[in-house]
Amino acid sequence: MPATADSLHVTTAATVDSIAAATTAAADSVATPAPEITVCGMLLRNHEADAPTSSLASADYTVGTVPYSSGVEAIQRPDSLGVDSGVVSILVVMFLIVTFTFKHFISVYRSLFQDLYMVRKRENAFDEHTAGESTTIMALSFQTALCQAILFFAALNIKTPTAEATTFPMLAGLTAMTLALFIFQLAAFRTIAYAFTEPFLGSQWIKGLKATQALMGFLLLIPALIVLFYPAAAPAMVTLAAIIYVAMRIMLIIKGFRIFYDNFLSLIYFILYLCALEIVPLLILGVGAMKLSTFLQL
């Protein structure tokens, strides 16, 4: 019996020690936090409900190479005058010339608007015309010729696009043609004024031509720049430029009519002038531009 009691006591003590050890281990495990589980962000967007459940449903999913991983197909950049370095260089030179000649901006434009519509029987004693004004008119006339060439190029390029290699030669040729048209009209106006009217009235008519050419240099500048860098706007800008040109020439024609009209016979002469100096030169310019375009395309 005593031996049995001792063994029972030893067993009970061992059991108590094991329970205490287990309790201590459990307390340690509770006190120590478990490491946080991190999940990839892409895995959060994967849902089992989105997976195809049949072979028919797999047609809605991309199999193989994903299209965006191979990039976007390149689109050829459209040819335009704005990407030609030669054209841009000419524009910069033109702006510099016009800027350096603008020392008397307000007086020059006041005289241009007066020369456009005013007809006087005698010269005003307070009128002043300087060499700087003549230089400004020449610079603006060159600007008008260049803007007309750009718009003419855009009009030809609407139906038959011009090759990139011929862009600069085409524009240079059109600029030379528009300048030649202005010089021809200036010489013809001087001849007609000398033959059919007094010198002072004839000089007013010639000044009207110069004023028309100079003012169009500013009115056509915005449409020309838009066409230069946004070729898609060419139809609207060419139409606007045509309206501006016709309006300015109508004002010049009205001034010429006030100077030259005396009787019915002078009206016949005036109609001949319209055909010879206003209509036929434009037709020749259009035909010449198309011939030049065809020649450069060969």
Of 60 and 27, the structure prediction assigns the larger pLDDT to 60
Residue 160 CA to residue 258 CA, distance in Å, equals 42
* 115 Cα distance to chain centroid: 32
Share of the chain above pLDDT 70, in %: 64
Residue 73 or 181, more confident: 181
DSSP 37: P
Q: Over 80: is that where the pLDDT of 180 sits?
A: yes
Chain Cα centroid distance, residue 133: 31
d(C-alpha 199, C-alpha 195), whole Å? 9
pLDDT recorded at residue 50: 59
* pLDDT on residue 209: 92
pLDDT tier, 41 (very low <50, low <70, confident <90, very high otherwise): low
Q: How many CB atoms lie within 10 A of CB 95?
A: 13
- State the pLDDT at residue 262: 81
Mean pLDDT lowest for which of 9-23, 155-169, 191-205, 267-281?
A: 9-23
Residue 43 pLDDT class (50, 70, 90 cuts): low
Other beta carbons within 10 angstroms of residue 128's beta carbon come to 9
Residues 105 and 110: their CA atoms lie apart, in Å, by: 9
Q: Residues 241-284: pLDDT tens digits? A: 999 999 999 999 999 888 888 887 778 888 888 888 889 999 99
The label of the residue with tokens 């002038």 reads: 273
pLDDT at 184: 94
Distance CA 202, CA 207 (A): 9
Report residue 118 as tokens: 């005013």
Tokens 């108590």 — which residue? 16
Spatial separation of the C-alpha atoms in residues 53 and 224, rounded to whole Å: 61
What element of type H or E holds 240? Answer: helix 234-260
Alpha-carbon torsion 263, 265, 269, 275, what sign? positive
Question: What does the pLDDT look like over 112-166, one tens digit per residue?
Answer: 888 887 887 666 655 555 656 777 788 888 889 999 999 988 888 887 776 666 7
